[in-house]
Amino acid sequence: MASEKRIAIKEAEITNNCPECFNQELKLTFYQKHTFNPFFHRTTDEVTHEIKCKKCYSIIYPVNWTPDIEKVFDYYNKLVSPDRSSVRFTTLFFIVLVVVLCAVAALVYFYLEGLI
């Protein structure tokens, strides 16, 4: 039941022409994938991008990119610095861990005392 989110890490307004409507207002956004679970939150190193026109709201896919859009994308791609991939454990994980460790310690104690 892990949910995934794409969190925006860099946004840029670019003034290249839209291949659909020829407007000069495009928005380039870089996203980083985060996974959320009841026991941990994971930041992955997967970075995706999206170029969207602000007038016609169409997504411009790499097939439709002009050479100018490619140059601008390469420039901003070098500027993106994603968060390090990491795992953060939640409070629920630590509570379950403590309960399991206490149960194991109690079983070992009762076994050594000969009560089991």
Q: Give pLDDT tens digits along the chain (116 positions).
A: 678 999 999 999 998 888 888 888 899 999 999 999 999 999 999 999 999 998 888 899 999 888 999 999 999 999 999 989 999 999 999 999 999 999 999 999 999 998 87
- Rg of the Cα atoms in the chain: 24
Report phi then psi at 107, rounded to 5.
-65, -40
- How many CB atoms lie under 10 A from the CB of residue 23? 14
Closest alpha carbon to 26 in 62, 52, 58: 52
For the chain, the first-to-last Cα distance in angstroms comes to: 38
**How far is residue 116's CA from residue 107's CA, in Å, rounded to a whole number?**
8
Please answer whether residues 38 and 13 qualify as being in contact, where contact means their C-beta atoms are separated by less than 8 angstroms: no
- Cross-strand partners of 12: 28
91, 95, 114, 116 from 106: Cα distances, Å: 23, 17, 12, 11
Does the model's pTM come out above 0.85? Answer: no
